[in-house]
Homo-oligomer: A and B are copies of this chain.
Amino acid sequence: MLKPLGDRVLVKVRKEEEKIGGIVLASNAKEKPTSGEVIAVGEGALTPEGKRQPIDVKVGEIVWYDKYSGTSIKYDDEEYLVIRAGDLLAVED
């Protein structure tokens, strides 16, 4: 499996019009942020003092991000997004 590096998060992109908790999501809208499930989380960026900056999201959480953030990776026939944690806009709770 892919392990994101540094302050990056691996997100499984949500398919269009997929329902989560009974709600049809607007992720198919043009020019809109999209959302997905966190699959893996990097160790965090390394500070000059040699510490890791913690990342605010956990595996399994649904995160929202801008359509133009991150880099798409196709791995093992599945569509993923590698995105810096700081580019994530919000998390569902």
Contact = CB atoms under 8 A, between A and B. Distances in A.
Interface string A78-93: 0000100110111111
Given A43-B56, A48-B47, A54-B46, A2 B92 contact: yes
Interface in A52-93: 53-54, 56-57, 63-64, 66, 71-76, 82, 85-86, 88-93
A3 B89 CA distance: 9
A33 to B, nearest CB: 5
Most buried by B among A43, A64, A66: A64
B56 A6 contact: yes
A64 B2 contact: yes
